[in-house]
Amino acid sequence: KQEVTQIPAALSVPEGENLVLNCSFTDSAIYNLQWFRQDPGKGLTSLLLIQSSQREQTSGRLNASLDKSSGRSTLYIAASQPGDSATYLCAVVWVNAGNMLTFGGGTRLMVKP
């Protein structure tokens, strides 16, 4: 069964820390992997999209890596800020699943000032 798992489910850190969010997936035959941010009661904001041929993508303080062989992706957030507090979702499009995204359960991040 194709599944996406995110650990930890919740994370609380002091402002300024660098942090890593983890995402694992059970089948390495992916088309792409996408990281999203969701604020309470809001829709999803796309943060980074990594194609299967890529190893990482960067946007500002965010860096996402992809290791297909081990079925893992990490989202690195540098110098965290209270405004980074949100739920972060990892989602995969598998090669045999058309364009359908399979989501992980998310990591709820709280950055304390």
Partner 1 sequence: GAVVSQHPSWVICKSGTSVKIECRSLDFQATTMFWYRQFPKQSLMLMATSNEGSKATYEQGVEKDKFLINHASLTLSTLTVTSAHPEDSSFYICSAIEGVTLGQFFGPGTRLTVL
| Closest to 102 in 3D by CA, of 11, 46, 8, 34 | 34
6-35 residues near partner 1, rule: CB under 8 A: 31-32, 34
Determine contact, residues 31/95, Cβ cutoff 8 Å.
Answer: yes
- Minimum CB distance to partner 1 smaller for 29 or for 79: 29
Amino acid residing at 103: F
- Please list every residue from 49 through 88 that binds partner 1, using CB under 8 A: 49, 51
Give yes or no for residue 44 binding partner 1 (CB under 8 A).
yes
Q: Tell me the site size for partner 1, rule CB under 8 A.
A: 23
Q: The tokens of 18 are what?
A: 């660098």
**Alpha helices by DSSP H, 22-66:** none
Closest distance of CB 79 from partner 1, Å: 23
CB atoms near residue 78 (< 10 Å): 12
The minimum distance between CB 91 and partner 1, in angstroms, equals 8
Pick from 21, 25, 36, 86: which binds partner 1 (CB under 8 A)?
Answer: 36
